[in-house]
Amino acid sequence: MALNRQELRDYLATKTRADFSKVGDDDELFSTGTIDSFAVVDLLTFLEKHTGKSHGLGDVDLDELDSVSRILAFVDAQSK
């Protein structure tokens, strides 16, 4: 199942309750506190549904998930 930009942004907005209309695709998410470490597990579970691959916390570098653009690139790489 492919993950599109808007679906990811909607998911992140719902989970974080952040105003994603003010968050750009390249804005840092973890570094700025938009997403905290507790949300990582939920995000990885959400991404697993789209890649079909399970990722543990030790399998992923948070830099790969630190922006909408990076998350989409990560999912794209995992889907191949």
pLDDT in tens, 54-78: 877 777 888 999 999 999 999 888 8
Per cent of the chain over pLDDT 70 is 98
Tokens of 11: 């998911």
Element (H, E) at 48: helix 37-51
Tell me the pTM.
Answer: 0.89
Mean pLDDT of the chain: 88
Residue 55, CB-side half-sphere exposure with 13 Å CA sphere: 25
What pLDDT is attached to residue 1?
A: 59
